[in-house]
Amino acid sequence: MTNVKAKNFPKDFKWGVTISAYQNEGKWNTYGKGKSIWDTFTNEPGFKKGNGNVATNFYHHYKEDIKRAKDLNLDVFRFSISWARILPKGTGSINPKGVRFYHDVINTCIELDIEPWVTLYHWDLPQTLENKGGWTNRNIIDWFSEYVEFCTKEYGNKVKKWIVLNEPMSFVGLGYFMGMHAPGKKGILNFLPAAHHTTLCQAIGGRIVRKNVENAFVGTTFSCSVVKPVNRLVKHKRAAERIDALLNRFFIEPALGLGYPTDSIPGLKQIENYFKEGDKELMQFDFDFIGVQYYFKIVAKHSLLPPLLFATEIPATKRNVKTNNMGMEIYPKGLLKMLEKFSAYENVKDIYITESGVCFDDKLKDEKIKDKNRIKYLKKTFYYTLMALEKNSKVKGYFAWTLVDNFEWAEGISARFGLYYTDFVTQKRFIKKSGLWLQKFLSKR
């Protein structure tokens, strides 16, 4: 593998880093903030992986943290707004302290000359709205619209880059089908309405951004995975196709006017039970860009469960491959495949890799973290991104996940993804070797 240099990338290629509100902010029930589904989920006695009540205390460390991003020579700082910090009850009265906080974050970015990219929804639904059914309730369209209207009118003169949703399949699949993430709901009867309302909000949110923000550049992000069948048997190939449709096509294709991928998953036609007149048009929106977020590869096989999908994954831990410390296969080449796949959609304009990263059990020793494995990962990832560019993919930027080790959802603080190490007791941050490497890499542009 040749040694990739930052100079090899186009001049206007954007380099950034992504964080999210729940995973970083802390101050979960103070400064006027309402509870989100993640506050509830992680503070239940049955949840054993800690909580994000303090997280990395970004609420009080935002200035130094944004400076840390700038110090890495990055162009973009992507963060999300916590809906319940702005609208503690989801709708209705506004929390002025919350509104001020995001002004401060945005102003700090502007002062430090690092561009703010704002995600409107990174999984932390206000609990009051979940009490009314959350994403399964079609009224979410009004609730979400009210929130997006407010944010875009409030910050739209300073922020031009907007992302409507972070990885819909992750929060709908894990939160409303598997019950592994907040709000812990399960089954097809939760999944299908939640998914359809999410698809609608994705497009409606896009339209609101475009209406309210002059010169807006609006996108939305998708999780994706390379999916391979366990062997060449037709039934396993079909199983892989279904998982691919679910993970990689489900939310982008309706936005592009192609509808849900019922060609591969016929049972998915049931989702039409939740359609109202005009929904097919309402689901479409011509995003200026899409965000691709890639972490791991999946090997699929045919199975009698779960319903609709009739396919399961063979865990990477049983396949004798390299894994990260969440047990997912590390496969940087998959990014190339994903960039090719998404670039092939005619109506996809620009693509940004809005998240990419790897978690290890990093150890702090003499204030140093020697994460050679992460450097290797970054090198390979950049190599395949460059290869994608050479093959005319539409990729325009790379944002690393993430700045500092943070609260990794159902994994708690054990999965460290940061370019900086967080000591969760003292809240001190230490730059990792990978952070230093990236800093140097980007200094030679």
Closest distance between ligand BGC and the C-beta of residue 16, in Å? Answer: 14
Which residue, 80 or 128, has its beta carbon nearer to ligand BGC? 80
Which residue, 150 or 417, has its beta carbon nearer to ligand BGC? 417
Closest distance between ligand BGC and the C-beta of residue 352, in Å? Answer: 14
Which residue, 213 or 326, has its beta carbon nearer to ligand BGC? 326
CA separation, residue 368 to residues 352, 364, 416, 417, 430 (Å) = 31, 6, 15, 16, 7
d(CA 25, CA 119): 14
Nearest to 192 by CA among 60, 307, 341: 307
Closest distance between ligand BGC and the C-beta of residue 416, in Å? Answer: 11
Burial 186-216 (b: 16+ CB within 10 A, else e): eebebbbbbbbbbbbbbbbbbbbbbebbeeb
Which residue, 23 or 91, has its beta carbon nearer to ligand BGC? 23
Which residue, 96 or 327, has its beta carbon nearer to ligand BGC? 327
Does the active-site annotation cover 272? no
Does the active-site annotation cover 167? yes
What token pair was written down for 392?
């005319």
Which residue, 163 or 216, has its beta carbon nearer to ligand BGC? 163
Closest distance between ligand BGC and the C-beta of residue 397, in Å? Answer: 16
* SS3 readout for the chain: CCCCCHHHCCCCCEEEEECCHHHHCCCCCCCCCCCEHHHHHHCCCCCCCCCCCCCCCHHHHHHHHHHHHHHCCCCEEEEECCHHHHCCCCCCCCCHHHHHHHHHHHHHHHHHCCEEEEEEECCCCEHHHHCCCHHHCCCHHHHHHHHHHHHHHHHCCCCCEEEEECCHHHHHHHHHCECCCCCCCECHHHHHHHHHHHHHHHHHHHHHHHHHCCCCEEEEEEEEEEEEECCCCHHHHHHHHHHHHHHHHCCHHHHCCCCCCCCCCHHHHHHHHHCCCCHHHHCCCCCCEEEEEEEEEEEEEECCCCCCCCEEECCHHHCCCCECCCCCECCCHHHHHHHHHHHCCCCCCEEEEEEECCCECCCCECCECCCHHHHHHHHHHHHHHHHHHHCCCCEEEEEEECCECCCCHHHCCCCECCCEEEECCCCEEEECHHHHHHHHHHHCC
Sign of CA dihedral 164, 168, 170, 175: positive
d(CA 214, CA 212): 7
Closest distance between ligand BGC and the C-beta of residue 327, in Å? Answer: 12
DSSP β-ladder status, 395-401 and 420-423: unpaired
Closest distance between ligand BGC and the C-beta of residue 269, in Å? Answer: 28
Which residue, 190 or 223, has its beta carbon nearer to ligand BGC? 223
Closest distance between ligand BGC and the C-beta of residue 377, in Å? Answer: 13
Which of the residues 25, 154, 329, 355 is marked catalytic?
355
Which residue, 88 or 418, has its beta carbon nearer to ligand BGC? 418
Which of the residues 167, 241, 253, 408 is marked catalytic?
167
Closest distance between ligand BGC and the C-beta of residue 316, in Å? Answer: 14
Binding site for ligand BGC (CB under 6 A): 20, 23, 166-167, 170, 223, 293, 295, 355, 401, 408, 417
Which residue, 9 or 250, has its beta carbon nearer to ligand BGC? 250
Closest distance between ligand BGC and the C-beta of residue 410, in Å? Answer: 9
Residues annotated catalytic, as ranges: 167, 355
